[in-house]
Amino acid sequence: MTRSSKIISTPIVGLFLFFCCWTNMEKAAAEEENYIKYKDPKQPMNARIKDLMKRMTLAEKIGQMVQLDRENMTAEIVRDYKIGSVISGAGSVPRLKASALDWTNMVNYFQNGSLSSRLGIPIMYGIDAVHGHHNVYKATVFPHNIGLGATRDKELVKKIGIATALEIRATGINYAFAPLLAVCRDPRWGKCYESYSEDPKIVTEMTDIIYGLQGDIPNNVRKGLPFTGGKDKVAACAKQFVGDGGTTNGINENNTVIDWHGLLSIHMPAYDQSIIKGVSTIMVSYSSLNGTKMHANRDLVTDFLKKTLKFRGFVISDWLGIDKITYPPHSNYSYSVFASVQAGIDMVMVPYNYTEFIDTLTDHVNNKRIPMSRINDAVKRILKVKFSMGLFENPWADQTFVNKLGSQAHRDLAREAVRKSLVLLKNGENADSPVLPLPKNTSKILIAGTHANNLGYQCGGWTMTWQGLSGNNHTAGTTILSAIAAAIDPNTEIVYSENPDSEFVQSNNFSYAIVAVGEHPYAETFGDSPNLTIAEPGPNVINNVCGRVKCVVLLVSGRPLVIEPHIRSIDALVAAWLPGTEGHGIADVLFGDYGFTGRLPRTWFKTVDQLPMNVGDPHYDPLYPFGYGLTTNPIESS
């Protein structure tokens, strides 16, 4: 090659290299422009949150703070208003007796709306799950919390959390409003059956259900960080913060009068433990604390819960909870929105009038009554939970766990929980003449009472609907009568009468009678009771049966009831609480396949005039003390 040719080739090489470099830079710029950090699962969570938030408008941020009920909502509303969460309130279902497929299709319908929004932020879909996935047809309904408290078995409760999470995921839902951590200090309260115990130590131990719902928290996750591990888990919600179990006279949504030491020692410990265990969300109570509505209590929600206890998940309101800051409710909505958001509530359960809430909050921010920093804090917390759940990678409901809904394994677990929850209060006149266990092989027995053949009564409130139902056709399960029929010898004759008269009882030669009576279903304020009596005709059934034939009374109730007037005529008395769908667990123990092991999770009073009365109180004079429970040994199989 000549010298001149080398000189000519130099600029050609330079141009070629420049062109290559320019092309690569352009390609890199294009790739960078198309790269969206918050959608990259390899990026740290905080980096993803930061990237997403800097892209969000005020409208998109406020939309994330809204939770709507599915009723009358559309995917377009979710998309256009950038809604953060959708729920099914009690009884709000895709259709009557909806299947798991119906539920997953509905969840995906709303999820499609959220993912088709500008930023594609997935929704959380929430549902109450206070004793299993109880809104869903054929789901396993576990004993209410008062019964679980009687078991004293936190490992069992964790297993129930695991089963409940699987059944919730079977329907495509990813967010459960559970567990309730109230410490019920007065059984007149209509939510007392949702409380594990009057003893804060028991309630605190039962927070292990969070591990079941969300998964065991890894050692490298800091205290207070929300954690939900895997597609078989759901985000949990500790509720309702704080002191709702201590309201005056047990009146729901009323005022709790207590000093700081009492609040910290009785009502707060379970929340501290739930935060340590990684609970994703905490719901605020309707009730007041020393005259201040909890939905407007900045000192406790922001300063104590978030700053002192280091809770890093998000705080959610109760159903229309902010409306009740004022009286009458909704009478000064602008103030309610201001007070609740400033108090530290991050997501608001509207659940219907979303435009009013969005417009009101937007106005507060635009006029600098609520600082942008408060909105950013709320949204950051909500996104933290969503990223921790893996929603950005796996937003869709699928059919993976459909066969877990009401599975036999879960029903067996519920059956175990029932038999461990039963508390034997009386068993004959003395230890030398026990009535239980009952013989399976005898001539003729009487099964009586309103609750013997009524699955709805057996499950109580928060079952298929908010207030619960009567009857056997609303979901799948085994009544007490059916369970007894399956347990006894085929040659033993069963006579069932809901309300037999005394002549009928006397004219038949019954070997023994089993009487099942108690409370009709209720929830919340509808269950507030100043009298705590057995529902009619329960007392009449006891009077007509007991004293005329050897009788075992099963008290199916959400709390202790007035029983002292009847106790002398009753041969054996069992607190069965609200056992749920698996009546076989009662028969297991009545007939000695398993022994009685349950202990009272709360004090059984003599008269309502003694209330409130809790273990450790001065002048403690119960009919049956806290922790009481007779035991029996199982009958050995021959």
Catalytic residue positions, numbered: 318, 524
Q: How many CA atoms lie within 13 A of 266 on its CB side?
A: 24
Which two tokens mark 115? 């993912």
SS3 string, 269-329, reads: HHHHHHHHCCCCEEEECCCEECCEEHHHCHHHHHHHHHHHCCCCCEEECCCCCHHHHCCCC
Check: CB of residue 413 under 8 Å from CB of residue 159: yes
d(CA 413, CA 402): 18
Could you tell me how far CA 478 lies from the centroid of its own chain? 22
DSSP lists the bridge partners of residue 582 as 478
Alpha carbon 270 to chain centroid, angstroms = 15
Residue 52 phi, psi (nearest 5): -65, -45
Cα angle value 317/320/324 (rounded, 5°) = 95
Beta 66-69 vs 85-88: how paired, if at all? parallel
Identify the CA nearest to 295 among candidates 248, 260, 273, 327.
327
Per-residue CA distances from 453 to 321, 420, 559 (Å)? 37, 21, 20
Q: Which of 206, 204, 224, 228 is nearest to 216 (CA)?
A: 228
User: In degrees rounded to 5, what are phi and psi of residue 81?
Assistant: -105, 5
Asked whether 282 and 289 are in contact (CB, 8 A), the reply is no
- Measure the CA–CA gap between 3 and 463, rounded to whole angstroms: 94
- Nearest-10 crossing angle of helices 333-343, 354-366: 70
DSSP string, 399-442: STTGGGTT-HHHHHHHHHHHHHH-EEEEESSSTTS---SPPSS-
Contacts of 191 (CB under 8 A, 6+ apart): 180, 182, 184, 244, 245, 252, 523, 524, 527
**Quick one: tokens of 345?**
């509530």
CA–CA gap between residue 433 and residue 424 (Å, rounded): 15
Tally the residues of the chain: 638
- What crossing angle do the helices spanning 408-421 and 154-170 adopt, rounded to 10°? 150
Query: Smallest Cα–Cα separation from 239: which of 162, 349, 358?
Result: 349
Query: Which strands form 572-575's sheet, in the order they lie side by side?
Result: 423-427, 572-575, 551-556, 512-518, 444-448, 493-497
Residue 542: C-alpha distances to residues 169, 234, 445, 536, 551 (Å): 43, 44, 15, 11, 9
